[in-house]
Amino acid sequence: LALSVCAATPVLDPYDTQTAPANPTERATLWMDNSDLSYGMITKVDRKRMPSRKFKGYPYSVAVSPGKHPLKFFIGKISNPSSFDSYTMTTDYEVQIDVEAGHTYIIGTRNSIEGQVFAGQLIDLGPAKTCRYEVTGKMLQGYVPVKLNCI
């Protein structure tokens, strides 16, 4: 599963779910906090499976309507970022989120000082922040490294 999910250049723009309003001020955007040591992909929103978007992997980011949503995602930990020869996919996480219109949210994937992943930690950046992913290296072992930047 990990290789088929990550085997091509990922789509870095948020996926518009069926409930996402077209106007950015009327929807919430969720971003997985991908880094050189961890990555996450959103597999279900509102109990509906997310598409792999032309075999480019599950979304790293989604846009949803305001309110409560069940969310399912997975987080992988990368042990050796220079070669990606040692990465693992953790179990799926299922959380209930409650989001506001026009807000930007991050779903934490990073490791704490003790080495534990903050799985499912939802951080509200508010309405004034925007985020985007940047590719930080070349594809290695079927994974394209990206980093989330928010301003």
Q: What is the mean pLDDT of residues 67-80?
A: 84
Q: Report whether 125 contacts 149 (CB < 8 A).
A: no
From 30-34, 50-54, 100-104, 132-136, the region with the lowest mean pLDDT: 50-54
Among positive and negative, which fits the CA dihedral 63, 138, 35, 88? positive
Q: What is the mean pLDDT of the chain?
A: 79
Backbone angles phi, psi at 69, to 5 degrees: -145, 135
> Quick one: tokens of 105?
């949210």
Does the pLDDT at position 88 exceed 70? no
SS3 category, 33: coil
Read off the pLDDT band of 3 (50, 70, 90).
very low
User: Per-residue pLDDT for 117 more than 50?
Assistant: no
Region of 74 on the Ramachandran plot (φ > 0 left; ψ -120 to 50 alpha; else beta): beta
Work out the average pLDDT over 61-90.
78
Whole-angstrom Cα distance, residue 60 to residue 145?
12
